[in-house]
């Protein structure tokens, strides 16, 4: 009598239940969890969000969180890193290509690919950074922020400072600070402050803000094309012309 054919081994740790072994696209399950985690962490403090709550919002088995991300903290980190990845890729590319329109491209990527789909992200980041220094959310956010800072420093140094594109007297570190200040504010401001300025993070308003910030950074940080050290009068004379030639960030 022949032995029964053994069953095909399943992936270790694969949970049973809704969304686990139904043939549903596993990539879709993972994305559902990332989206649900983003919604839950935005609406509630990290400590108050449970694994079961996230799974319920995603419509999948809670065991999938451990399967894909190991833990709630792993899910938080994956969600944050994958959300900001377009901006990180932009910094890496800008440091290599050193194109004249890299400021426009970076701002466009940030507003279009990071903020427009996730308008509450900046305030979530500020909340996580307000947690105790030894907490998981703080350590995760600190690590991701460290990557952003390192890549932005490399971009400013290689693509702006070393290539001679910064105006005379502009400090590269302060230039980087100005870049982040303009792109992050007013998105981290309390809603009442945004209301006072009549600003809401709609795609149309983000597009207008992107163009405005690009123009400010071009005029305030970068040399005018064809001039090594433009005088105040030369800068004034070329402002109108430069404003019309700045490539608007694509959103």
pLDDT at 14: 56
Show me where the domains of the chain are located.
13-70, 77-245
Q: What is the pTM of this model?
A: 0.77
Q: In angstroms, rounded to a whole number, what is the distance separating the alpha carbons of residues 105 and 94?
A: 9
Phi-psi region of 117 (alpha: psi -120 to 50; beta: other; left: phi over 0): alpha
When the candidates are 1.10.357.10, 2.60.120.10, 1.20.1440.230, 3.40.50.620, the CATH number that belongs to 77-245 is 1.10.357.10
What number of other Cβ atoms are within 10 A of residue 110's Cβ?
A: 24
Q: What is the pLDDT of residue 241?
A: 36
For 162, residues 6+ apart whose C-beta sits below 8 A from its C-beta are none
CB 142 within 8 A of CB 81: no
* pLDDT tens across the length of the chain (251 residues): 444 444 434 444 555 545 555 545 678 999 999 999 999 999 999 999 999 999 999 999 999 999 999 999 999 999 999 999 999 999 999 998 888 889 999 999 999 999 999 988 998 999 999 999 999 999 999 999 999 999 999 999 999 999 999 999 999 999 999 999 998 887 888 888 888 988 888 889 999 999 999 999 999 999 986 555 444 433 333 333 333 333 444 44
* HSE-CB for 70 with a 13 A CA cutoff: 5
Q: What's the pLDDT score for residue 247?
A: 44
Task: Match domain 13-70 to its CATH number in 3.40.50.300, 3.30.40.230, 1.10.10.60, 1.10.10.10.
Answer: 1.10.10.60
pLDDT in tens, 94-150: 998 888 889 999 999 999 999 999 988 998 999 999 999 999 999 999 999 999 999
């Amino acid at each position: 009598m022949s032995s029964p054919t053994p069953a095909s081994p399943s992936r270790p740790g694969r949970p049973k239940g809704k969304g686990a072994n139904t043939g549903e696209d596993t990539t879709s399950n993972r994305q559902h969890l990332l989206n649900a985690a983003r919604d839950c962490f935005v609406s509630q403090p990290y400590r108050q969000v449970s694994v079961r709550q996230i799974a319920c919002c995603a419509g999948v088995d809670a065991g999938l969180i451990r399967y894909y991300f190991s833990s709630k903290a792993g899910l938080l980190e994956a969600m944050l890193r994958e959300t900001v990845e377009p901006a990180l890729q932009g910094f890496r590319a800008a440091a290599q290509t050193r194109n004249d329109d890299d400021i426009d491209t970076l701002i466009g990527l940030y507003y279009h690919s990071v903020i427009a789909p996730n308008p509450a992200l900046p305030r979530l980041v500020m909340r996580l950074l307000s947690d105790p220094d030894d907490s998981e959310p703080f350590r995760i956010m600190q690590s991701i922020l460290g990557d952003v800072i390192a890549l932005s420093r490399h971009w400013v140094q290689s693509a702006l400072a070393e290539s001679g594109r910064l105006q005379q007297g502009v400090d590269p570190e302060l230039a980087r600070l100005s870049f982040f200040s303009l792109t992050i504010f007013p998105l981290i401001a309390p809603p009442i402050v945004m209301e006072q300025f009549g600003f809401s993070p709609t795609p149309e308003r983000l597009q207008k803000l992107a163009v405005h910030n690009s123009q400010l950074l071009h005029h305030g940080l970068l040399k005018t094309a064809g001039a090594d050290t433009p005088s105040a009068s030369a800068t004034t004379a070329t402002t109108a012309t430069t404003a019309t030639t700045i490539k608007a960030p694509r959103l």
